[in-house]
């Protein structure tokens, strides 16, 4: 699944999860309830602590503590990346063939570099937003 397909899927999931809500955002309560209703096994147990972790202690939420579709897709995209990284790490630790280990370790290094680029880009984006706000004032 490429990034565009993942984004579309996450936007559809957002709409599905907020089906009980007339708001355009998703609260912790709606998200927790919606995740419990998904037809997956085992059931998803989503706590307030989990919400605080994925929203970076509310930094990614609006003033009411809710997620809009953009923040939700960003948060969930990050969760997918973390999941893939955990699976990759497990594969690296369980591999018995040196060549497989080399390939998997190389993929891990590339992913680390991509993460570093994302951090730099996010920092640059934040600084540009701050510059734009101060020049408008």
5-60 tens-digit pLDDT: 888 999 999 998 887 667 789 999 999 998 998 898 999 999 999 999 999 999 99
Q: How confident is the model at residue 94 (pLDDT cuts 50, 70, 90)?
A: confident
Mark whether 70 and 132 lie in a shared domain.
no
Mark whether 84 and 120 lie in a shared domain.
no
**pTM, entire model:** 0.68
Three-state SS for 54? helix
Quote the tokens at residue 5: 């397909």
121: Cβ contacts below 8 Å, ≥ 6 apart: none
Q: What is the dihedral of CA 126, 8, 52, 131, to 10 degrees?
A: 10
Mark whether 64 and 125 lie in a shared domain.
no
Mark whether 12 and 63 lie in a shared domain.
yes
Mark whether 111 and 71 lie in a shared domain.
no
Mark whether 102 and 88 lie in a shared domain.
no
Q: Averaged over 98-120, what is the pLDDT?
A: 72
How many separate domains does the chain show?
2
- Per the structure, the complete domain to which residue 46 belongs is given by 1-94
Three-state SS for 43? coil
Count of other CB atoms within 10 angstroms of residue 125: 10
pLDDT at 60: 92
Tokens 């920092």 appear where? 123
Q: What is the CATH number of the domain that holds 68?
A: 1.10.238.10
Nearest to 62 by CA among 47, 72, 49: 72
Bigger pLDDT: 27 or 90? 27
Mark whether 29 and 81 lie in a shared domain.
yes
């Amino acid at each position: 699944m490429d990034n565009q397909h993942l984004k579309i899927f996450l936007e559809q999931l957002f709409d599905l999860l907020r089906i009980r809500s007339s708001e355009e955002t998703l609260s912790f309560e709606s998200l927790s309830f919606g995740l419990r209703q998904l037809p997956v096994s085992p059931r998803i147990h989503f706590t307030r602590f989990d919400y605080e972790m994925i929203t970076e202690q509310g930094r990614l939420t609006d003033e009411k503590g809710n997620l809009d579709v953009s923040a939700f897709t960003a948060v969930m995209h990050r969760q997918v990346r973390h999941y893939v990284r955990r699976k990759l790490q497990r594969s690296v630790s369980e591999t018995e063939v040196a060549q497989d280990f080399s390939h998997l370790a190389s993929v891990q290094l590339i992913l680390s570099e991509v993460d570093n680029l994302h951090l730099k880009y996010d920092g640059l984006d934040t600084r540009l937003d701050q510059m734009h706000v101060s020049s408008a004032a």
